[in-house]
Amino acid sequence: MRSLFFLLVIIFCNGPAGAQPYVDGGNTRHRFAQLLIGADFMYFPSGGSTFQVDEQGQLLPFRPEASLIPRINIAGTHFWGHANFYVSIPVGNLLDSSVPNNGEITFNPGVETGVRLYPWRIERNKVRPFAGAAFGIADWRQRSSRGTGAFAHKARIPLQAGLTYQRRSLLFEAGMGYYPGNAITYYADRATPAELELPPLYFWMGINYQLETTLGAEKNYLNGATEGRTKRLAASGALNGWSVAIGPSAAFVIGNAPRNEQLYPSIGRHRTPNLFFDLGLGYYHYKTDAHLNLAYRANRSERAAYGIEQSLRRRSLALEVFKFLFDFHGFVPFIGPHLSREWYELEESVDGSQVYRARQQQWAAGLTFGWDIRPDALQGAILRTNLRYTPTRDISQVSFRQLEFNFIQLVIYPGRAKRIREGS
């Protein structure tokens, strides 16, 4: 992952020049959004508070050292350079994370998803200020002579401000963020809680490469050729078709875990399963502007502390149907219900021996919503953002309910793309 990060930086620093579509050609639907891929460095000054364990085994206060965390960015400028919707994926801390007396801290600010708004749109060779907010779940784990604790999860909403400068197709960015509310309870052993405060302030600098993916279709749209072909293909049903989709997803566990509070307070509750892929097979109907989709996801969440381990596994197959609501310059939101078959497994072990295992299957109804970036109907592939909420029943007093967030999913219509190329 770190090698990929530095490779991206090298590639972007040699990026080619390109037109700035929403400046050169105005606020048209084919210039509404652009894809951004990039990287940055996130710096946390020494701050917050935690504990150290002295040579006699007593808890003493300790101020965590600074952290420098590279991240990979996947984003998109929207509304003709006035907004940046993004997800930033941290790689790992490059600085010293040791604690006196052979202790260590693992701090991960978490995958950050947010929006940055520009009162004055991003333009080449100009500095533009922005303000933004995001959502992320930070991870904190600490090791001491008493053992290794759990990853503590803290949902945080940073407030941000910064500047962006564009040169050619590269966007250079610098900013600062502040997290309100950073106190957490962390167990120094299986039975001893301690009060911690996560680092509240951070700064970042990064670079993103801007890719234009839809401008090539604008000429035909403006001269009427797109409208004529759309009517002809729609009349023959050629714009209907099967779809396949794939994209990375994250999820947030919603709900408490009374079992853990009673039996294993040191491991805490589950909050963020591992990143996973959202796979889809569907059918789109042009006249009704609706999509029927079969979505498969599988993820896993693990909690461990001081010899106690708990693992949750979820597999989900959802049949969903969603209706596109309106079209704002190629920004096309949708919403609809889904019915999901869920497979769950809960495993626990203490000091290496399995003490509990439960499996369950259930049906659950939920909601799917999101948006497509769809400049016109003659697209063989589009980019989609979707969210799913599935209110399932708890298992053994542990919540499996999840809000899934698929930031960028590639949706391909193989048959429709072929028919469009052939002009049938």
Model confidence pLDDT, tens digit, residues 310-336: 999 999 999 999 999 998 878 899 999
**Under 8 Å CB-to-CB from 351, ≥6 apart: which residues?**
307
What number of CA atoms fall less than 13 Å from residue 201's CA on the CB side? Answer: 4
- 197 plus 309 within the same structural domain: no
CATH number, position 341: 2.40.160.20
- 12 plus 112 within the same structural domain: yes
Residue 20 confidence (pLDDT):
64
Residue 422 confidence (pLDDT):
67
Structure tokens at 236: 């023959």
- 239 plus 315 within the same structural domain: yes
- 340 plus 231 within the same structural domain: yes
- 171 plus 252 within the same structural domain: no
- 184 plus 245 within the same structural domain: no
Q: State mean pLDDT over 268-292.
A: 90
Residue 253 confidence (pLDDT):
85
Residue 16 confidence (pLDDT):
43
Domain count, the chain: 2
Residue 24 confidence (pLDDT):
66
- 242 plus 323 within the same structural domain: yes
- 179 plus 228 within the same structural domain: no
Structure tokens at 172: 């250079």
- 132 plus 197 within the same structural domain: yes
Angle between the N-to-C axes of helices 225-235 and 414-422, in degrees from 0 to 180, rounded to the nearest 10: 120
**Given a cut of 70, is residue 25 above it in pLDDT?**
no
Name the domain boundary from 196, 211, 226. Answer: 211
**Given a cut of 60, is residue 96 above it in pLDDT?**
yes
Q: Is the dihedral of CA 109, 114, 118, 121 positive or negative?
A: positive
Residue 217 confidence (pLDDT):
65
CB 90 within 8 A of CB 275: no
- 257 plus 196 within the same structural domain: no
**pLDDT tens digits, 194-241:** 888 888 999 999 989 877 766 666 677 667 777 788 888 888 888 898
Give Dmax (Cα) for the chain. 82
Name the domain boundary from 148, 180, 211. Answer: 211
- 372 plus 317 within the same structural domain: yes
**pLDDT tens digits, 107-159:** 888 888 888 899 998 888 889 999 999 888 888 888 888 888 888 888 888 99
Residues above pLDDT 70, as percent of the chain: 89
Domain that holds residue 107: 2-211
Average per-residue pLDDT for the chain = 85
**Given a cut of 80, is residue 12 above it in pLDDT?**
no
Name the domain boundary from 157, 178, 211. Answer: 211
Map the chain to HEC letters: CHHHHHHHHHHHHCCCCCCCHHHHCCCCHHHCCEEEEEEEEEEECCCCEEEEECCCCCEEEECCCCEEEEEEEEEEEECCCCEEEEEEEECCCCCCCEECCCEEEEEECCCEEEEEECCCCCCECCEEEEEEEEEEEEEEEEEECCEECCCEEEEECCEEEEEEEEECCEEEEEEEEECCCCEEEEECCCCCEEEEECCCEEEEEEEEEEECCCHHHHHHHHCCHHHHHHHHHHHCCCCCEEEEEEEEEEEEECCCCHHHHHHCHHHCCCCCCCCEEEEEEEEEECCCCEEEEEEEEEEEEEEEECCEEEEEEEEEEEEEEEEECCCECCEEEEEEEEEEEEEEEEEEEECCEEEEEEEEEEEEEEEEEEEEECCCCCCCEEEEEEEEEECCCCECCECCCEEEEEEEEEEECHHHHHHHHHCC
- 182 plus 41 within the same structural domain: yes
**Given a cut of 60, is residue 385 above it in pLDDT?**
yes
**Under 8 Å CB-to-CB from 423, ≥6 apart: which residues?**
229
